[in-house]
Amino acid sequence: MDSNLTQHQELLPEELQGSAVNLDLTLPGSTGRKFYIESYGCQMNFSDSEIVASILAQEGIQSTRNIEEADMIFINTCSIREKAEDSVRKRLKEFKPFKKNKPELVVGVLGCMAERLKAKFLEQEQLVDIVAGPDSYRDLPNLLKKADDGDKGVNVFLSREETYADIAPMRLDENGVTAFISIMRGCDNMCSFCVVPFTRGRERSRSSYTIVAEAEDLYLRGYREVTLLGQNVDSYKWVNPETNELTNFAHLLEMVAKVNPQLRVRFSTSHPKDITDEVLYTMAKYNNICNYIHLPVQSGSSRILELMNRTYDREWYLDRVSAIHKIIPECAISSDIITGFCTETEEDHRETLSIMELANYSMSYMFFYSERPGTPAAKKYKDDVSLEIKKERLNEIIRLQNRLSHHHNQADIGKTFEVLIEGNSKRSEDMFKGRNSQNKMIVFNKKGNYQPGDYVTVKVDSASSATLHGTITA
Ligand code: SAH
Ligand code: SF4
Ligand code: F3S
């Protein structure tokens, strides 16, 4: 296997090694019990773990980063591809010795895999005590009581209303500068390959007031960037029950942008069928809404897009790309691509490569198709592209994206950008890292009294396909 392929597959966000919660908080009324949590999957899951941490803290249960001292271990899981589920199962096996040493240890499986497998989890994985789907986290204290009494606790009820709007997430991020805000849950799209509608249920939007209040609170606590999260943010829709007034995504963006000009606003994910010119004009109007859109194409072939039930075709997608370039000329676009979907031919594959060039993505997440049980594609189509061909095509896609990213980054050399400092660079304490509006990571020297959370002007001196390097000019 090509080394590129391995590297990229391991960099996929959904399959990143789970990351442990990072807070040591002692609350009044603490029970002395401690929980350890690991999150896998997309940002929605990481964001949900912050809700879970908040619910457990209310019960007086403290967080720990040290798994050995934990009285309960939670794993927040992802089902998007087979590989994502495999890594969770592998991790669960590693928990066995802890349970052996401490029989009263509670092991809880949360998130999408819990929802997909439900009580089956208890049969398959003997050490699991709690199975809780994404809409049942308020029930965790109750499920814990059951587990303490020696029973198994399962709640996989999917709600039409739950948005956890009133729960202040306990921020688990490490930098104190950038944070995620969930604005909606679930998905109504039914892309044929996708398990999300089954694991996260129907789409519902959270009240715009609680979103704005969360952004204001984050700003006051020193945060300088928020990312509004949803599976399809463009279909955000909230009707005020008192006034009947409708807030769409463009309105919401504007409301959050107005919180403070020093608070950057990002969002993810946009759906090509739903992203409106109104959203693009709102982005152009506010300097603090970042010039970056993650607009997953999945395939460049209209025939495959139809089988995928993406409800747009190649022309529609390219029209949206032109609208972005026209209305926000400096905007960077990134994508998700699935290769080797059912019946995909070499010609379809060529169309994916050509749409990547036309859209000139700054970055992409690239996957080969993994059939998910119960999805429309699994029911209707044969997974008939061999693994070998899937890997070959994926390799070619990755090589092309590396070339596009390299080109994109080379074109930035000599330009200056406003960068929000996020913290020290991984490689050196003497360097800062931060992102420009286009979401590109820039590493630069420290200078003066600048701190994480400050904005600086950085001139780009050199670039690789992943990172820009620069110097502070102001
Ligand atoms: N809501 C987002 C995507 C969420 S899932 C959207 O509509 O764009 C993240 C990505 O995982 C998808 O964009 C897709 O590229 C990939 N993905 C989803 N299901 C997959 C499957 N069965 N096999 C391979 N990749 C998949
Ligand atoms: Fe899945 Fe499609 Fe919904 Fe994205 S929009 S979560 S790919 S069903
Ligand atoms: Fe995975 Fe669930 Fe997110 S399946 S990608 S954690 S919505």
Nearest CA among 412, 318, 398, 303 for reference residue 358: 318
Return d(Cα 124, Cα 180) in angstroms, integer: 33
User: For the domain with range 416-472, which CATH number is right: 2.60.40.1840, 2.40.50.140, 3.40.50.980, 3.40.710.10?
Assistant: 2.40.50.140
Note the pLDDT tens digit of each residue in 178-193.
Answer: 999 999 999 999 999 9
- Find the 365 Cα to ligand 1 centroid distance in Å: 9
Give me the percent of the chain exceeding a pLDDT of 70: 94
- Find the 339 Cα to ligand 3 centroid distance in Å: 19
269 lines ligand 1 (CB under 6 A): yes
Q: Tell me if residue 396 falls in helix, strand or coil.
A: helix
In the Cβ-directed half-sphere of 425, how many Cα atoms lie within 13 Å? 17
Residue 464: predicted pLDDT = 86
CB-neighbour burial class of residue 450 (10 A; exposed 0-12, middle 13-18, buried 19+): middle
Could you tell me the pTM of the whole model? 0.93
Q: Is the pLDDT of residue 17 over 80?
A: no
Residue 28: predicted pLDDT = 52
- Find the 417 Cα to ligand 1 centroid distance in Å: 31
Which atom of ligand 1 lies nearest, measured to the CA of 337?
15
Model confidence band, residue 2 (pLDDT cutoffs 50, 70, 90): very low
- Give ranges for CATH 2.40.50.140 in the chain: 416-472
Return d(Cα 460, Cα 64) in angstroms, integer: 40
Nearest CA residue ID for atom 1, ligand 1: 231
CB of 436 closer than 8 Å to CB of 417: yes
189 lines ligand 2 (CB under 6 A): yes
Sheet of 363-368, strands arranged across: 292-294, 332-339, 363-368
CB of 225 closer than 8 Å to CB of 264: yes
336 lines ligand 1 (CB under 6 A): yes
**What ligand has the least distance to the C-alpha of 365?**
1
Q: Which of 196, 231, 294 to mutate to test the pocket of ligand 3 (most atoms within 8 A of CB)?
A: 196
Question: Under CATH, what is the fold of the domain 178-410?
Answer: pyruvate-formate lyase- activating enzyme (3.80.30)
Return d(Cα 362, Cα 332) in angstroms, integer: 6
Task: List the beta strands (DSSP E) in 119-245.
Answer: 130-132, 153-155, 178-182, 184-185, 204-205, 225-229, 237-239
Return d(Cα 69, Cα 85) in angstroms, integer: 26
- Give ranges for CATH 3.40.50.12160 in the chain: 19-155
Nearest CA residue ID for atom 1, ligand 3: 78
Sheet of 178-182, strands arranged across: 178-182, 225-229, 264-268
Tell me whether strands 264-268 and 130-132 are parallel, antiparallel or unpaired: unpaired
- Find the 118 Cα to ligand 3 centroid distance in Å: 15
Burial track 2-11 (b if 16+ CB lie within 10 A, e otherwise)? eeebeebbee
2 lines ligand 1 (CB under 6 A): no
80 lines ligand 1 (CB under 6 A): yes
Residue 18: predicted pLDDT = 53
Model confidence band, residue 395 (pLDDT cutoffs 50, 70, 90): very high
**DSSP symbols for 106-121:** EEEEEEHHHHHHTTHH
Which atom of ligand 1 lies nearest, measured to the CA of 187?
1
Ligand 3: residues whose CB is within 6 Å?
14, 41-42, 44-45, 78-80, 111-112, 195-196, 199-200
194 lines ligand 2 (CB under 6 A): yes
Note the pLDDT tens digit of each residue in 90-136.
Answer: 999 999 999 989 989 999 999 999 999 998 888 877 889 999 999 99
**What ligand has the least distance to the C-alpha of 367?**
1
- Find the 450 Cα to ligand 3 centroid distance in Å: 37
CB of 445 closer than 8 Å to CB of 458: no
Which atom of ligand 2 lies nearest, measured to the CA of 298?
7
CB of 440 closer than 8 Å to CB of 463: no
CATH superfamily of 19-155: Methylthiotransferase, N-terminal domain (3.40.50.12160)
Residue 24: predicted pLDDT = 44
- Give ranges for CATH 3.80.30.20 in the chain: 178-410
Answer left, alpha or beta for residue 171, where phi above 0 means left and psi between -120 and 50 means alpha: beta
